[in-house]
Copies of this chain bind each other. A is one copy, B any other.
Amino acid sequence: MTQLELARKGNVSAAMKAVADKEGLDPEFVSQGVAEGLIVIPANINHRGVEPCGIGKGLRTKVNANIGTSSDYADVNVELEKLRAAVDAQTDTVMDLSTGGDITAIRRAILAATSLPLGTVPIYQAGIEAINRYGSIVAMPVDHLFAAIQEQAEDGVDFMTVHCGITLKAIDRLRKAKRVTDVVSRGGAFTIGWMLHNGKENPLYEHFDRLLEIARKYDITLSLGDGLRPGSLADASDRAQIEELLTIGELVEHSRAAGVQVMVEGPGHMPLDQIAANVQMEKLVCKGAPFYVLGPLVTDVAAGYDHITAAIGGTVAAAAGADYLCYVTPSEHLSLPDPDDVREGVIGARIAAHAGDIIKGVKGAMDWDRKMSVARKNLNWEEQVKLSIDPPRARKARGQHGTTGAGCSMCGQYCAMDLVAKYLGTTSVRC
């Protein structure tokens, strides 16, 4: 039985218990959330030792780090280095988006190297194998796509992005929408190319039940991808995007009915003032399914700094109810990320998740800030470093310039908090 089926029968599984313990919540609360489809716990039954991670309502907002090769750079050792960078920076999950080298071997190496839940986009492997075997992605037989899904399922992949919501009707709306950057999702592009070339419906939509069967068997969480997500502010929240979301909403209900855990992916590039509406729309259309957003990036022009634009949009999204943030690295739009980019991306997303959690009222979120502020007020530097989101970085920045004062070298002998404490009689405060 899947976690969803277990929860529906009123069970509290070991995974649900583990999630509850980590979050400081009641196991029944988690079980109830899973039963209603408001929480997912991506954990393939074949993924031995996977640390259960809950994503959804009432839980801490989670962060995902994308790693993986490209056709230009396909060194498994670099990917394992990126994996370590992501884990060190405290990502909650990892996705292997490899499209270069021996995709199967790289995935297995990553799976063997981490106990974090692992996600993939199986059409990458299927499409690229189709190029090698049949000459092009568009020549990919449907069975070949399902063979890749099956292989990855057996390997223990915990969640899979599947672009099931791209229908011929959605492509029609896409054409009418006259976008600036029509399709920026790689899986979306593979799918649309295949559909238009073959003049056929999306195989993952048409054969959705076949997909559900595999997902149910291994308890894979489906992450219904937004192949038509906007790739520019100009295209945000257009009819093509919403058309796909409507189909995804139907597939959410279908998945749940089949006992399959499911979440929904979201934008993308988007002006700040559309983010909350998009989150709310997903929650309504998809009946509260956990929402997994990429960004959103609040401007198109910050190439080189898109970990920042994503942190801005991600905070607003999380505060509005998004459950899961896919990181964006500083190299987005420019090149494959390095381990350093991975680190920056994870930290940026964690900042956004946490700042959002403060607004959501997630248990313990505000306490962390309070403890930090108490340490700050008490000029307790060891504690400040320990409580910071990235202790090694904080220690390094603090150590960069020594000080003769009680504070730091910015104010030197004139630390505001130090100065007023004696006049206000607040030399030491407690948590």
Contacts and interface: CB of A to CB of B under 8 A. Distances in A.
Contact of A183 (B336, B354, B417): B417
Given A308-B308, A414-B128, A331 B184 contact: no
A342 interface: no
A185 B337 CA distance: 39
Decide if the interface of chain A is mainly helix, strand, loop or mixed. Answer: helix
B335 A410 contact: yes
A369 interface: yes
B180 A373 contact: yes
B414 A186 contact: yes
A300 interface: yes
A362 interface: no
Interface in A375-431: 376-377, 384-385, 387-390, 393-394, 396-398, 400-405, 408-417, 419-421, 423-424, 426, 429
Interface in A192-215: 192-193, 196-197
Contacts of A143: none
A318 to B, nearest CB: 9
A169 interface: no
Contact of A405 (B72, B232, B307, B308): B72
Interface string A343-387: 000011001101110110000001011101110110000001101
Given A188-B416, A373-B233, A301 B389 contact: yes
B376 A333 contact: yes
B333 A408 contact: yes
Contact of A305 (B128, B269, B348, B398): B348
A354 B302 CA distance: 10
A373 B300 contact: yes
A312 B309 contact: no
B373 A181 contact: yes
A400 B189 contact: no
Contacts of A330: 397
Nearest to A350: B302
Given A272-B355, A358-B298, A388-B302, A348 B308 contact: yes
Contacts of A190: 414, 419
- Oligomer: number of copies: 2
A401 B73 contact: yes
A370 B272 contact: no
Nearest to A230: B373
A86 B397 CA distance: 20
Contacts of A410: 70, 331-332, 334-337
A106 interface: no
A54 interface: no
Contact of A300 (B184, B233, B298, B372): B372
Q: Considering residues A70, A196, A377, which has the most beta carbons from chain B within 10 angstroms of its beta carbon?
A: A70
A311 interface: yes
Given A369-B300, A389-B301, A416-B183, A404 B272 contact: no
A333 B403 CA distance: 13
A217 to B, nearest CB: 29
A352 B114 CA distance: 36
18 contacts: A70-B414, A71-B404, A72-B403, A99-B411, A128-B414, A174-B424, A180-B429, A182-B417, A193-B420, A196-B424, A233-B369, A272-B358, A301-B388, A305-B351, A312-B351, A316-B316, A335-B397, A336-B408
In the A-B complex, the 10 residue pairs with the closest CB atoms: A71-B412, A232-B373, A189-B416, A70-B412, A304-B393, A298-B355, A189-B419, A300-B369, A334-B397, A72-B412
